[in-house]
């Protein structure tokens, strides 16, 4: 089921989905001679690419997720009662490479580094907390993602004695369950990418985790240009950002369908 979910999720991403429609259009023309249906498939494929690759549309998709939770304060963090009550800071997993000549911090994906930096910022400002890092080992990895995150934190000067690792959870649903078991009823500052935070908080609530949202790794740091040049600009970065947002909306729909919406 886990593998099937990943495969279906991949096929529903903008680029594979648009290619599927374009490929269907070609097959329908060649095999069935149904030109009207083929045109519909071509149009759907092109529309998906044009929409998700557009700078303004991509920005709106990302902002609709990233602005649901406010970031942790930059100053006077100790005066924030919800954060001050946290016993743990948890950084959800992302991804990493396996280059022997790179430090652990450089092996992390851009999302992984951004999440870890925010987690370390909070853990340093809240000296009574412990840092939890999460992520399993894939078939291509030499060590778990949790260990790479922990090693990167130590490289940046954080004491290893304050770090806990969760190295078996394969996705966000399993991470939140594992966190709830590890911390019991203690409050946790939950760090993940801002676009991923709505789904993470839903799953945290379903798992019974007392989580304080601390979004990081923003894709849209400025208000998207929704008029003029923004609608006339297409690039690969916009397609990549739209894909991340698209994945989250599918994930949110899945949590609703499987009864994990936290309601």
Q: In what order do the strands lie in the sheet with 130-134?
A: 163-166, 130-134, 86-91, 187-193, 210-216
- CB distance 245 to 77 below 8 Å: no
What domains, with CATH codes, occur in the chain? 74-216 (3.40.50.620)
- CB distance 72 to 118 below 8 Å: yes
Q: What span, in angstroms and rounded, lies between the C-alpha atoms of 110 and 245?
A: 16
Q: Do the bridges between strand 86-91 and strand 210-216 make them parallel or antiparallel, or are there none, so unpaired?
A: unpaired
pLDDT band at residue 3 using 50, 70 and 90 as cut-offs: confident
Q: What span, in angstroms and rounded, lies between the C-alpha atoms of 147 and 223?
A: 36
Task: Please write the tens of the pLDDT for every residue from 126-138.
Answer: 999 999 999 998 7
% of the chain beyond a pLDDT of 90: 74
What is the structure's pLDDT at 231? Answer: 87
Backbone angles phi, psi at 216, to 5 degrees: -145, -175
pLDDT at 75 over 90: no
pLDDT at 161 over 70: yes
What is the structure's pLDDT at 78? Answer: 62
pLDDT at 81 over 70: yes
In the structure encoding, which two tokens stand for residue 7, read together?
């495969």
What is the structure's pLDDT at 245? Answer: 97
Q: How many CB atoms lie within 10 A of CB 243?
A: 18
Would you say how long the chain is, in residues?
263
Q: What span, in angstroms and rounded, lies between the C-alpha atoms of 51 and 173?
A: 30
Secondary structure of 173-219 in the HEC alphabet?
Answer: HHHHHHHHHHHCCCEEEEEEEHHHHHHHHHHHHHHCCEEEEEEECCC
């Amino acid at each position: 089921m886990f593998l099937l979910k990943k495969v279906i999720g991949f096929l529903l991403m903008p680029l594979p989905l648009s290619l599927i429609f374009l490929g269907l259009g070609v097959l329908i023309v060649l095999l069935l001679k149904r030109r009207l249906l083929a045109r519909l498939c071509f149009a759907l494929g092109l529309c998906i690419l044009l929409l998700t690759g557009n700078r303004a549309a991509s920005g709106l998709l990302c902002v609709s997720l990233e602005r649901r939770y406010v970031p942790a304060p930059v100053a006077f963090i100790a005066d924030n009662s919800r954060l001050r009550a946290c016993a743990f800071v948890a950084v959800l997993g992302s991804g990493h490479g396996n280059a022997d000549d790179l430090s652990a911090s450089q092996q992390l994906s851009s999302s992984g580094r951004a999440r870890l930096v925010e987690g370390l910022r909070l853990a340093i400002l809240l000296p009574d907390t412990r840092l939890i890092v999460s992520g399993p080992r894939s078939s291509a990895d030499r060590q778990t993602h949790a260990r790479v995150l922990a090693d990167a934190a130590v490289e940046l000067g954080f004491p290893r004695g304050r770090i806990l690792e969760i190295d078996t959870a394969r996705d966000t649903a399993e991470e939140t369950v594992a966190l709830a078991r590890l911390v019991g009823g203690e409050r946790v500052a939950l760090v993940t990418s801002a676009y991923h935070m709505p789904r993470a908080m839903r799953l945290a609530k379903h798992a019974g985790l007392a989580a304080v949202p601390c979004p990081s790794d923003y894709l849209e740091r400025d208000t998207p240009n929704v008029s003029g040049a923004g609608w006339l600009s297409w690039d690969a970065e916009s397609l990549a950002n739209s894909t991340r947002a698209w994945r989250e909306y599918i994930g949110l729909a899945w949590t609703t369908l499987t009864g994990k919406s936290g309601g």
